Amino acid sequence: MTDLRTLYPPIEPFESGMLDVGDGHSIYYERVGTKGAKPAVFLHGGPGAGISPDYRRLFDPARYEVVLFDQRGCGRSVPYADLTDNTTWHLVADIERLRETFGFEKWQVFGGSWGSTLALAYAETHPGRVSELILRGVYTLTRAELDWYYRFGVSEMFPDKWERFLAPLSPEGRADPVRAYRALLTGDDEARKLEAAKAWSIWEGETITLLPNPAFTAPWLDGHFALAFARIENHYFFHNAWLDERQLLDNAHRLAGIPGVIVHGRYDMPCPARYAWELHKAWPDAQFHLIEGAGHAYCEPGILDRLIRATDGFGG
């Protein structure tokens, strides 16, 4: 039996800083690996989750120069938890600004969960700037996907956790949780805002792995993290991420000629596998790996193995 691949050893950035992207926002970025090696950009999930040191370890540092950054309003980017001028298309422009700042003609784009949504939006807008595309936990942000997770899908598997998710909402608000949470997360009552942020965050943290994983879930319990994560994610989902229905799937023809890899867990709760399958059918240049015995998180062994094999395979 072939051993499963896992993360490369811990590594520190050779450069980090803040980039002014306009609209009052500055984003934190870091560069890791070997300067001048194959360029790649890592797009984190959420929206609003920020980057983690472990994400640096998805790439062979001898063969890659990787740019990681906290998207607007989260992580070390400022202003924190801010929703102003914070849309999908602002983020697509920020990715281009980073590419231009560091002088890359093309780069590999790696995105998981919401990062896959953003990666698709970027690649379909700037296909000539993408050397390869690696997607994990594909999320195309259709109305059906949103309803599956926030109305009448995942709640069937997690009735106990769903009840806790609904607890901050009024009986009337529970019919449309995304809208009801928006009122709390953008309101003036700071105590209720924090309570709502934690409940929103914990719901996701406890449903993204196939089996309970308290260590992986721990960051979602932190109030500071939850405030940006919940506010930004809810903001994007309330607005359907400023995407037309099925836009990313319908525009998949723009990915023609871009080599790629799609990695998706069979039992991914937030992101149903059928949409990854649809993308695979519309983008035949990509390898497709549906991982048995896996949920949504990148660190689940079968998923991580395929992600490392993908970056190694494109690393030259």
| 215: CB partners within 8 A, 6+ apart | none
Is 170 catalytic? The answer is: no
Partners of 288 in the β-ladder: 262
Report cis status (omega within 30 of 0) of the bond before 79. Answer: yes
Is 289 catalytic? The answer is: no
Q: Are strands 64-69 and 25-33 parallel, antiparallel or unpaired?
A: antiparallel
Question: Which segments within the chain are labelled E, that is strand?
Answer: 15-22, 25-33, 38-43, 64-69, 107-112, 130-136, 260-265, 286-291
Q: Which of 87, 49, 88, 90 is nearest to 68 (CA)?
A: 49
Check 60, 77, 113, 116 and give the catalytic one. Answer: 113
Check 70, 82, 94, 268 and give the catalytic one. Answer: 268
Is 113 catalytic? The answer is: yes
Check 77, 116, 296, 305 and give the catalytic one. Answer: 296
CA distances from 14 to 30, 178, 254, 261 (A): 8, 40, 34, 28
Q: Where in the sequence numbering do the catalytic residues fall?
A: 113, 268, 296
